[in-house]
Amino acid sequence: MEVGRRFVLRSASATGAFAALLAAGLLRPAQALAATWNKVAFGAKNPADALKGIGATSTAESKEVQLDLPQIAENGAVVPIEVSSKVPGTTSIAVIIEKNPFPLVAQFEFMEGALPYVKLNAKVGESSAVRAVADAGGKFYSASKEVKVTIGGCGG
Amino acid sequence: MPGPMKIRATAEAGYTEIRVLMSHPMETGLRKGPDGKLVPAHFIQNITVKVGGKTVVEGQISQAISRNPVFAFRVKGGNKGDKVEISWVDNKGEHNQTETAVA
């Protein structure tokens, strides 16, 4: 729980969103101590808001962020996405599928010797750009790739 | 209903690869069931990976993760026999955890 709280404090205070949430009474200290889920970022309906939600107001394209996914996905319900970051000091990786109803798919925090690497399967609703965003000390680096979906991942 | 997890941790050159399969419907809340009504959202939100008792990865995920989620993580070093624990919590407060030893 200690780590969860630190994560919230760090990720939210970076944008001042934490103060705003506190002021709005949306985030009570008791909730901040529980397992956290970034409702604002995950509830965002467009990629720009999702990025803002995770504190990434500006991102720089970087070849150090490696994103691997199929060019064509026959089944949008299961699209394998592999991300790793070579940016020194990467502490978290987020995955955004730009055209999904809720673009933010996941965000992982790495600590205690975990390598900035994650592999996951995601649902992709329609052909879309997929963006990986790595956070290194408050600076955000990203890479994106298109995936073409022949059968959608939603409504199936 | 959420079922058991499968987990495997293997020592590779310089790092430990952790793979996990979770049994979960991962309902988006946007899909209609046979009765034409929306199936309520039911999905994992938080994942925690611990190695040797220390938290190494904390993940937050959305309903866009595929049904029966599969993840792979990598942790520097690691010795055979180290304990690896993975747990998750979903939006209904259901939770599950499992553990294995690095092989």
In tens, the pLDDT along A22-78 reads 444 444 443 333 468 999 999 999 999 999 999 998 999 999 999 999 999 989 999
Give the mean pLDDT of chain B: 94
Residue B2 has pLDDT above 70, yes or no: no
Q: Which domains does chain B have, with CATH numbers?
A: 3-29+41-101 (2.60.40.10)
Inform me whether the pLDDT recorded for B50 exceeds 70.
yes
Question: How many of the other CB atoms lie within 10 Å of CB of B82?
Answer: 18
Percent of chain A with pLDDT over 90: 71
If one counts every other C-beta atom within 10 angstroms of the C-beta of residue B95, the result is 13
Average pLDDT on B54-68 reads 97
pTM as predicted = 0.83
- How far off is chain A from B39, nearest CA to CA, in Å? 10
Residue among B89, B49, B90, B4 at smallest CA distance from A119: B49
Mean pLDDT on A124-144: 96
| CATH H-level superfamily of A58-149 | SoxY domain (2.60.40.2470)
CB contact under 8 A, A120 and B69: yes
pLDDT for residue B89 is more than 90: yes
- C-alpha to C-alpha distance for B23 and B94, rounded to whole angstroms: 12
Percent of all residues in chain B with a pLDDT value above 70, rounded to a whole number: 98
- Say if the Cβ atoms of B15 and A153 lie within 8 Å: no
Alpha-carbon gap: B38 to the closest alpha carbon of chain A (Å): 10
Give the helix, strand, coil percentages of chain B, each rounded to 5: 0, 60, 40
| Closest chain A residue by Cα to residue B57 | A110
pLDDT band at A150 (very low <50, low <70, confident <90, very high): confident
